[in-house]
Amino acid sequence: DSPAAGLLQGVQMVMGEMVSVLGRYGTTPIKAEGEAFDPTVHEALQQVPSSEHPPMTVMMEYERGYLLHDRVIRPSKVIVSVAPPQASDAAE
């Protein structure tokens, strides 16, 4: 094992314990990726045309958000899909 691998394992253990403690006090992560965009819990950083995802769907979570007893303490920062431009729009 390299020193970096040991450090990574230690950081992951501390983070896991911290998430566990926060969960005991009512803090939960906001589910984002693959969900419909909800401006009450998501902050859109970018809109990306996509034919693979329905419009206004969270394609990627940039930063995880959290709820404390159903109250947003930090919104999820996300990238949202939009409909791709139509061929006639591209010709103009």
Read off the pLDDT of each residue in 80-86 and give the average, rounded to a whole number: 91
Q: Does residue 37 belong to any structural domain of this protein?
A: yes
Give how many domains the chain has, as a whole number: 1
35-80: pLDDT as tens digits:
999 999 999 999 999 999 999 999 999 999 999 999 999 999 999 9
Prediction pTM value: 0.75
Question: Does residue 20 form part of some domain?
Answer: no
Residue that is written with structure tokens 């969960």 in the block: 23
Determine how many CB atoms are found less than 10 A away from the CB of residue 33: 13
pLDDT, position 53: 92
- Give me the CATH number covering residue 69: 2.30.22.10
Q: Is 65 exposed, middle or buried (0-12, 13-18, 19+ CB in 10 A)?
A: buried
Q: What is the C-alpha to C-alpha distance for residues 28 and 50, in angstroms, rounded to an integer?
A: 29
Domain range for 71 is: 28-91
- The answer to whether residue 22 sits within a structural domain is no
| Arithmetic mean of pLDDT, 22-26 | 91
Q: How far apart are CA 73 and CA 63, in angstroms?
A: 13
Distance between alpha carbon 92 and the CA centroid of its chain, in Å?
35
